[in-house]
Structure 1
Amino acid sequence: MFYVSSSPWNLYRFLDALFARNDVPRGPMFLRDLGLTEDGVGASHGSHKGAAIDAILAANPDLPAYLMGDSGQKDAAVYLDAVRRHPGRIRGVALREPAPGTGDNDAAAFAAIAAEGVPCYHAPDFDGALDHWGLS
């Protein structure tokens, strides 16, 4: 398990404690640096997540990848770009819709991910993702 988040590094201890309290499997966290850049403060959500996904896949060339995130946070577009940059490496995508309607703008990206041959699961929670990916 690798965790890629746009949360800044100063939340690491909080996230680590939250994961431990909820029995989330431990794994490396790729959090965002907040600093001044030409584009403002810190890397953008998409560029941070995309670069972290690229680094994880490069360091683990034989590891199958399943990407999980939230709709409404541009994760669908980030994951579509990753699917296209790494053909055959991404085995499934799951996007949680934390509030009704938050995934409305992601419908085209969901369809495009599926058109690339990658099963894309979208629901209010992740409960059916393994079945959708044929892993249960």
Structure 2
Amino acid sequence: MIRAAALLYLSVATLSLPVALAAPAHELSVAGWASARATHLSIQVDAYDAWRGSGPAVLQNIARLLPQGAAGIGVVCQVGEQSIDVITDQGGHARCELKTTGAVKVSLVSGEEVRPNIPSLPDAPVTVISDLDDTVLITGAGKRSSVSTFLGATVSNRAAFPDIAPLYNSFAARGYPLVYLSNSPLGLSDFLRSVLPARGIANGPLLLRALDAQTLLHSTQHKIQSLNELAADLPGQFLLIGDTAQKDPEVYTAFAQSHPGKVLGIAIRDVSGPPRSQDVATLLYTAGVPVIISADAAAFASLVR
């Protein structure tokens, strides 16, 4: 998918570029979450790309997928009265964790700054942690159709499974916060943050992947690291929801095995059929927690009593 997008981007973007007067040197994206004890920020600094904010949807989406990461940029993360300085890595990514809560400001030494609204997660008895692609949003990950689905996506046409909004809204109504843990690139944060409410789905922190050589080679690393960070800071149990398309069953099983008592249950949407669904069932049996595998997400509600 990334190779196809790159070729299209390079061939089309050179035809006509939108003109921006006094364009900023960098674009700054910030996502994350806070608990009652700490604030966790994921920051992406890219060279300015005029296509990200204008032009055809296909070029905007490719620009989001293939950011021009700015390495070695100084970043100041401020939460309340505390601040720390970090430097972006080769992919333009940086992380900040501050053991405090409050208003957030992230600024660059070059002058750009943002004041993001970082969602706060309460100390709930259950936190629902959900994948996005093929769990919430209809994508077809791993299929050729997923490329066209992504490239033509807009807030108005990005489709969600119809069984998700009632289920996730019922979780939110019961006081169970939602966290969306996805391998989608961090540059899609603003787009996905608009898509969820547009489909009537309860919002929550978006924990997306910084795309660099390391995370591309090890696609499970982002989810494993994020789950470990959430577990270290949130005292309640987790309901883990994913699908059979990629590695959610493998990641969730390993996490449940390494964190006894932390996982209330694992719910997997079957989008593959056999033999993948049979292999997933065999694997999840070793997790040691209640498990549901179903094409209908309404069945997942039985895991939360």
Q: CA deviation at 1:6?
A: 0.6
Equivalent runs, 1:1-136 vs 2, <5 Å: 1-37=178-214, 42=216, 44-60=218-234, 62-101=235-274, 102-113=276-287, 116=288, 118-131=289-302, 133=303, 135=305
TM-fit CA distance, 1:17: 1.5
> Relative to structure 2, which stretch is displaced further, 17-26 or 88-97?
17-26
Contact 1:97 / 1:124 at 8 angstroms: preserved in 2?
A: yes
* 1:36 to partner: Cα distance: 2.6
**CA–CA distance in structure 2, aligned partners of residues 56 and 88 of structure 1:** 15
Task: Measure, in 1, the Cα distance between the counterparts of 2:245 and 2:280.
Answer: 7
Tell me if the contact between 1:34 and 1:43 (Cα under 8 Å) persists in the aligned partners: no
2: distance between equivalents of 1:16 and 1:49? 19
User: TM-score scaled by structure 1?
Assistant: 0.84
- 1:20 offset after TM fit, Å? 1.1
For 1:34 and 1:9, the matched residues in 2 are separated by 8
Larger radius of gyration: 2
User: Residues 14 and 129 of structure 1: is their aligned pair in 2 closer, same or farther, counting only changes over 3 Å?
Assistant: same
CA contact under 8 A between 2:244 and 2:272: conserved in structure 1?
A: no
Whether the aligned pair in 2 keeps the contact of 1:91 and 1:119 (CA below 8 Å) is yes
What is the CA-CA distance between 1:43 and the residue it aligns to? 6.1
Relative contact order (C-alpha < 8 Å, sep 6+): which is higher?
A: 1
Aligned residues: 127
Pick which of 91-100 and 80-89 moved more.
Answer: 91-100
User: 1:25 is aligned with what amino acid?
Assistant: A
| Residue identity in the other structure for 2:269 | R
SS in structure 1 of the partner of residue 268 of structure 2: strand
Q: Cα 1:104–1:11, aligned 2, differ >3 Å: closer, same or farther?
A: farther
Residue 114 of structure 2 corresponds to: none
Shift of 1:111: 1.5
Q: Percent identical across equivalent pairs?
A: 26
Structure 1, residues 75-125: CA drift from partner, whole Å, max 9, x if none? 111001100111001001000012433524313212112xx1x11010002
When structure 1 is superposed on structure 2, of 10-19 and 78-87 the one drifting more is 10-19
For each residue in 1:23-62, what CA deviation from the matched residue of structure 2 results, as whole angstroms up to 9, or x when unmatched?
Answer: 222211110000133xxx54623111111111111111x2
The 3-state SS of whatever aligns with 1:94 is: strand
Normalising by structure 2, what TM-score? 0.39
Distance 1:103 1:46 in 2: 19
